[in-house]
Structure 1
Amino acid sequence: MRDVKVRASALDGWRSNLREHGYEPERIGALSAVPPRELRGTSPMPLRDFVGFSESLVRETRDMSIPWLVGRNYDLSSLGPVGDAIRASSTVGLALRRFVEYFELLQDCTDIRLECDEQSASLSYRILDPNIWPRHHDAMFSLGILTQIIRAGTTDGWDQVEFLFEADQSEMVGHVNRLVEAPCSFGAETNMLRFPVRFLDCRLETTFAQAPIREINQAIAVRKRSTPLAERLARVVYRDLDRLTIDQERVAREVGMSGRTMRRKLASEGSSFQEVLDECRLRQAVFEFQTKPNLSIAQIALRLGYSEHSTFTRAFHRWSGISPQAFRERLMNKVN
C-alpha cells in the first residue's frame, strides 16, 4: 500500500486552540515541523505524519483534550467542498451523511460509517492502514468534528450518548468520559459515537448557499481512476477482514466491476487477488500482534479468515521468514 494521505488542512486550528488554552505554541516541539497554512495550503500530506503529530503533541503536553477541542472548534470551511456541503445541510442527518459519503476526499484508507436502527445511530471511525499505530488522538479529533455537527442541532439528550475507543484505557491520558461528557468504553474494534437516532432529524442553520455536489462527485471519480486497483481492493479487504468472509466476487462488486474484469486488471498490474489478500492478512497480523497481546495465534488466524492455524503459520513464515510466535516475541522484546 502506498503512503496514504490526509488533507493538510487537518492541521488548521491547532495553534490557536493551544494558545486559547494557555499553551505557548512556539514552545511545543510537535508544532515546530508544521508550516503555516499559507505554505502548506490544502495539498495532501502523509496520514502517518498527521497521526504522529497528534500523538506527539498529546505526549508532550500530557493533555488529551487538545485534539478533541480542536475538532469541536474546527472551521468546517477548511474541509473545502466537503465542508461546504456540510454547511449547506439543513439537518444533522444530512450533514453527517455527507461527511461520511465524501470523507475519501479528506483522508485515505479509513472506514467511516453511519449506521442506524429504530432507536439509535452510530458513527464509527477507523484507519485501515495497519502500519499506522498508535492512532488514538486523530480519532479524538475526528469524533470532535462529528460531535460539533451533532451539537449544532441538538439542545438536549446528550446524557444518552456514549463513546467507544480502539485504545485501551491505560493508553489514554486523563479522564476521557469527563472530556467528552458521556460514558466511554475502551479496547473496541473501532472508534464510535452512539446517539439517539432522533438527533438525525434535528434542524441546522445553513451557513453555505448550495452544496457543490457535482464538483465533489467529479473529484471522487478522478480519485478512483488514479488509484491502482490493488490498492482499492486492499482497502476493502482491510475493512472486512475480521467481519465478513472475503469473497472475490463481492469485493469486485464493491469497487464497481465484475470478478473477471477485476482479475484481468490485476494481472495487467502484475498482481492477483490472492496476492492482495495474502499481503493484507499478513500485515494485519502484525497489527493484531501489536494491539491484541492477549489473543492467541490461533485466534488471530481465525480473525484473519484462515480456517486452520497451520495454514496461517506457513503463510506467515513464507512472508516474514519466521513463525508468527517468534515474530510476536520480537515485537514484545522491542516494547519492553
Structure 2
Amino acid sequence: MATISLHHVNASLEGCRQHGINDLALLARAGINPTAITQNTGRIHTDQVGRLFRLIQQELNDEFMGFTRSRCKFGVFSTLCDLLSHCQVLGEVLRKAIDLYNLLTDDLTISLEISGNSAELSLVLTEPTLDHQHFLAEFLLVIWHRFPSWYIGEAIRLRETHFSHPPPAHRNELRIMFPGPLHFNQSSNRLVFDVGYLQKPLLRTAKEREVFLANYPVDIMTIPGADGSLEAQVERAIVASNTRRLEFLKAEQLADKMGIGKLSLYRGLQKEGTGFQRIKDNIRREVAIELLTQHDRSIDQISEIVGFSEPRSFTRAFRQWTGLSPRQYRTSHLNSNG
C-alpha cells in the first residue's frame, strides 16, 4: 500500500495537539500540505506519513506519540534493534522486545503465547482511554507485524487480528493494513500467526538495520514484498529508468515497458484511487525533499533534477505539494536541526 488514509494522519496529530505542539508546522516539515488534511477521506503517500510520525516522536520525545501517561523516549526502538543483533531467529527477537518494553514502561504490556500451532502476540495499553481514536493501538500492531516481516524477509501471513476497541468507521482501511479476519471488542490487541514463523532465521545485515533505523518508520508503512499494487509497480518502473535527472516516459511507453495496455494502466490506477500524474508528482516531491535537506544544491539545480524546465514552475508545484516554497522548506529543516 503506497498511501495511508487521512484518518490515521489526523489521529496521529492528536497527541501533539494535546501537548500544545504546532501540528501545522509538523505537517509542512513532513512535506504534507496542511490544507490536505481538512477532510477525512483522502490519502497521503507513505513516505510523507512516515516522516510525520518520526517528527511527532522527536518533537514529543515520545515513541508512543503522546497517547500514554508516560513517555517512551525517542531512541528506545533504536536501542532495541541494537540489542537484537545477536538474535538468530524471530522468536528470540519477539521475546527480547517483550522483555525490554515490559521493563521500561508500565503503559504497555506485551506478551507472546503459543496456542496449538498458532503464535499470539498481544499488546495491551494500560489506559486505552488516552488513545480514544485507537491510533496507538493500531500503529503498534502495524509495527509488530511489519518489523518482524522485514527482519525475516517475508510478509508474515496473519491468521487473525484482534482489536480491543469496537469496529471503527475506518475498518475497511484496517482490512488493507491487516489482511485476514478481523475481530473487535476483544480482550487485547493481538496478532495471530503460524507458530513456525518463530523459527524463521533473521536475514538482515548490520548495514540493513542501520538503513532501516535511519528511515524508521517509513519502511514499516508497507508490508515487505507484499505491495503488488499497480501504483507500486508503476513507481518501481519509473524509478528504475531514472538516474541523475528525473525523466518520465509517456504513459503508453511505460505501459508497453510493463507489458500492459495504456487503457489497462489508466483504468487500473483509477481503480486504486490514483493516477499517472499523481505518481509522478509523488516521485518528484520525494526526490525534491531529499535534495532540499542536503543543502549542497541550489534551488535552481534541484528544479532541473526533478524535471522542471524553470524554477518558478518547481516552486509553484512544491508549494502545492507541501504548503511551503522550496526555500521555506529548506529553512524550516535547517532551523529544526540546527
Q: TM-score, normalised on structure 1?
A: 0.40
Q: TM-score, normalised on structure 2?
A: 0.40
Higher relative contact order (CA 8 A, sep 6+): 2
